[in-house]
């Protein structure tokens, strides 16, 4: 049976276990295509520290990931059309509206399910669970 094609996406600036938790859920659903957001399109939080290509290369090297590409500069649905996924998996805390994405997919004739991943709690004291927390820790410890 052919594996379902699954899109995961995000910034993936400083990799952490929350990213792995998200990508594990994507891998459970099928073949994982990750769209790595362009720096210029990260607008809801501080810009990534790590360059675009480096973030893509780090994500591509993970065994959970089958393919990683840098996102489009203007139209986030261009890579989606190219990948032609069966599922788009949104992160548990992502601001994207599943209904709006489903409508945009419909408009472009892409037959694809939109699902939301779960989050997870830290497994031990001090586990660093977001890029922001890693940056804060560096500031506390090294500056």
Ligand X SMILES: Cc1cc2nc3c(=O)[nH]c(=O)nc-3n(C[C@H](O)[C@H](O)[C@H](O)COP(=O)(O)O)c2cc1C
Contact flags string 91-130 toward ligand ATP, x per CB under 6 A: xxxx------------------------xx--------xx
Are the C-beta atoms of residues 39 and 13 closer than 8 Å to each other? no
Q: Which is nearer to ligand X, 18 or 79 (CB)?
A: 79
Sequence-distant (≥ 6) Cβ neighbours of residue 17 within 8 angstroms: 123, 127, 128, 129
* Closest CB 109 distance from ligand ATP, rounded Å: 25
Identified binder of ligand ATP from the candidate list 7, 11, 35, 56, rule CB under 6 A = 11
* Closest CB 43 distance from ligand X, rounded Å: 4
In the sheet that 113-116 helps form, which strands lie side by side, from edge to edge? Answer: 67-70, 31-36, 5-10, 87-90, 113-116
* Closest CB 82 distance from ligand ATP, rounded Å: 20
d(CA 98, CA 48) in angstroms, rounded, equals 24
Neighbours of 44 (CB within 10 A): 8
According to the annotation, is 17 in a ligand binding site?
Answer: yes
Identified binder of ligand ATP from the candidate list 5, 6, 18, 56, rule CB under 6 A = 18
d(CA 21, CA 8) in angstroms, rounded, equals 12
Name which of ligand X, ligand ATP, none residue 47 binds, using a CB cut-off of 5 to 8 Å depending on partner kind. none
The vertex-83 CA angle with 87 and 34, nearest 5°, equals: 70
* Closest CB 12 distance from ligand X, rounded Å: 8
Binding site for ligand ATP (CB under 6 A): 10-13, 18-19, 21-22, 45, 91-94, 119-120, 129-132
């Amino acid at each position: 049976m052919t594996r379902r094609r699954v899109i995961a996406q995000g910034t993936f600036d400083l990799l952490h276990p929350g990213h792995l938790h998200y990508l594990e859920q994507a891998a459970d659903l099928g073949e994982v295509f990750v769209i790595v957001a362009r720096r210029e399109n990260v607008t809801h939080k501080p810009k990534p520290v790590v360059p675009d290509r480096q973030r893509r290369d780090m994500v591509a090297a993970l065994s959970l990931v089958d393919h990683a590409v840098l996102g489009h500069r203007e139209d986030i649905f261009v890579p989606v059309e190219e990948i032609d996924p069966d599922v788009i998996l949104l992160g548990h805390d992502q601001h994207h509206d599943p209904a709006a994405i489903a409508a945009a997919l419909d408009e472009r004739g892409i037959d694809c399910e939109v699902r939301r991943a779960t989050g997870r709690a830290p497994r031990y004291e001090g586990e660093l669970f977001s890029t922001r927390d890693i940056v804060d820790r560096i500031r506390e410890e090294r500056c």
